[in-house]
Amino acid sequence: MPTRTPRSSRRTEALSRERIVAAAIDLLDIAGETGLTFRALTERLATGPGAIYWHVANKGELLAAATDAVVTAALTREPAEPAATPRERIRAVALGLFDAIDEHAWLATQLAIQMSRDPAGTLAPRLFEGLGRQISALDVPEAAWFTATSALMNYILGAAGQNATNGRNATHQDRPDFLDTVATTWENLDPEEYPFTRAVARQLRGHDDREQFLDGLDLVLSGITAVHSSDR
């Protein structure tokens, strides 16, 4: 007759690190970093704190794991066409990161914290690998891989993070109204001190953030390939 596994053992086996991280991401999306507590996590997973501590040592490790999980999913985003070029693959990865940062309000801050606090951790190498493989596939000389990949990564994270911040700041009103308010403010600036800003104000009004992000990405990639075309 088969031996029955005690209920507590079955629960511990079912409570994997992946389940804990997924629940942490849900809590972060709902309540932000302050809402991610081990008490809230135990209630969400219907378990005791000891079972969670078996897999995750502390909140810092949990935040790092949640950030890594979301970034990993974004980096594995596949382009629409199976036989995509390196440039198209970079666009797919960039859009994956853009959408992830836009969807998870906490992610931009955690990316900055994780990258600066633990540059030797898994996050920076994961980002460099995901983008750098495609940079090398663009026939960029190896001596320029680090600089080119750094420039590309800084643009993607910076632009996506700024877009997410703008989106949160505009939550109190419709986006078109928000952009119209900012554009009107720019148009009313001193014409002698801000001639350029006044001139582009109309382009700000009603622009598409996603299209602007991709246009900027194309500028970065075109610059990378143009600068290094003479090296090939």
CA angle 108, 173, 170 (to 5 degrees): 20
* CA gap 68, 7 in Å, rounded: 32
Each residue of 202-220: pLDDT tens digit? 998 878 889 999 999 999 9
The encoded tokens of residue 125 equal 């190498």
- Residue-wise pLDDT tens for the chain (232 aa)? 444 444 444 444 468 899 999 999 999 999 999 999 999 999 999 888 888 889 999 999 999 999 999 999 998 887 767 778 999 999 999 999 999 999 998 999 999 998 888 888 889 999 999 999 999 999 899 999 999 999 999 999 999 998 888 777 665 567 788 888 899 999 999 999 999 999 999 998 878 889 999 999 999 999 999 988 655 5
* Residue-range domains of the chain with CATH: 81-231 (1.10.357.10)
